[in-house]
């Protein structure tokens, strides 16, 4: 899953980026509202974490522009001031959730996963499709009594597949959601990771649609 993190505090931003990457996200970090506004409007993110106190352009202004421009990506706002006015303003501009600093990283993760489940209409705390259950904590997948550990990219890729079961996903779309902005995003590498997942889970789990992409599970 690809995430935009807009936070101007370099220590907090770096810490959150590392934490979220360890939890299976591809994270693009921006420290000002101008860059965040541009990339949030041009890139297909799965979720956004937006600090309201950004320099150059405020988070409220950025969020309002996104929503008026038709950007529907789930947005969780961060505020350093525990005031009801700022939270209300953020929600009025189209925020989906909020956290007040300081906060625990695990709470941020839980809220982000809840937003993603809501946006993809996934029911339940764990991600389960066709007997496959993805464990966010251990970054592993199980089916019945068997369990397989996943590498970071394998986990990101399988999570995206399981959030969109039955959908034809092109290599370019998968690449956009699995890699962060500054990564070497060669779409042909996706084939390598798909094959690795097939070696672990079986060839029939991910089907190739020639000239179109890949399908995980049955079409809903």
Q: Where in the chain is the domain with CATH 1.10.10.10?
A: 127-216
Tell me whether residue 33 is exposed, middle or buried, using C-beta atoms within 10 angstroms of its C-beta: 0 to 12, 13 to 18, 19 or more.
buried
- For residue 16, what pLDDT is reported? 98
CB within 8 A of 47, min separation 6: which ones? 1, 3, 4, 73, 74, 75, 76, 112, 115, 116, 119
Q: At what angle do helices 171-178 and 152-163 cross, to 10 degrees?
A: 120
Residue % of the chain over a pLDDT of 90: 65
Q: Would you state the CATH architecture of domain 2-119?
A: 3-Layer(aba) Sandwich (3.40)
Instruction: Tell me what pLDDT residue 2 has.
Output: 92
* Mean pLDDT of the region 37-46: 94
- Whether the pLDDT of residue 218 is over 90: the answer is no
Q: Which segments of the chain belong to CATH 3.40.50.2300?
A: 2-119
Q: What pLDDT sits at residue 183?
A: 55
Task: Please say whether the dihedral angle defined by the alpha carbons of residues 135, 141, 147 and 151, taken in this order, is positive or negative.
Answer: negative
Confidence at 190, pLDDT banded by 50, 70, 90: confident
Over residues 57-92, the pLDDT tens digits come to 999 999 999 999 999 999 999 987 667 788 889 999
CATH class of domain segment(s) 127-216: mainly alpha
Q: How confident is the model at residue 220 (pLDDT cuts 50, 70, 90)?
A: very low
Q: Identify whether the C-beta of residue 90 lies closer than 8 Å to the C-beta of residue 80.
A: no
**Cα radius of gyration rounded to whole Å, the chain:** 18
* Distance (Å, whole) CA 3 – CA 107: 16
| Tens-place pLDDT, residues 141-174 | 999 889 999 998 899 899 999 999 999 999 988 9
Measured distance CA(214)–CA(9) in Å, rounded: 39
Indicate whether 219 pLDDT > 70. no
* pTM to 2 decimal places: 0.79
pLDDT tens digits for range 108-153: 999 999 998 888 776 555 688 888 999 888 889 999 889 999 998 8
């Amino acid at each position: 899953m690809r995430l935009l993190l807009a936070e101007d505090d370099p220590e907090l931003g770096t810490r959150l980026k590392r934490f979220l990457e360890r939890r299976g996200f591809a994270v693009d970090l921006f420290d000002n509202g101008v860059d965040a506004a541009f990339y949030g409007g041009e890139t297909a993110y799965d979720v956004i974490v937006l600090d309201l106190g950004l320099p150059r352009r405020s988070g409220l202004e950025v969020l309002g522009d996104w929503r008026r421009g038709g950007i529907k990506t789930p947005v969780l706002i961060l505020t350093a001031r525990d005031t009801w006015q700022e939270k209300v303003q953020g929600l009025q501009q189209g925020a989906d959730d909020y956290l007040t600093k300081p906060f625990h990283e695990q709470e941020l993760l839980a809220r982000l996963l809840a937003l993603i489940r809501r946006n993809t209409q996934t029911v339940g705390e764990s991600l389960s499709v066709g007997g496959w259950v993805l464990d966010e904590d251990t970054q592993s997948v199980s089916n019945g009594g068997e369990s397989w550990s996943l590498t970071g990219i394998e986990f990101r890729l399988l999570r995206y597949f399981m959030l969109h079961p039955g959908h034809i996903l092109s290599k370019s779309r998968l690449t956009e959601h699995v890699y962060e902005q500054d990564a070497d995003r060669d779409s042909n590498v996706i084939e390598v990771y798909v094959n690795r997942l097939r070696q672990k889970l079986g060839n029939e789990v991910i089907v190739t649609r020639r000239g179109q992409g890949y399908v995980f599970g049955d079409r809903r």
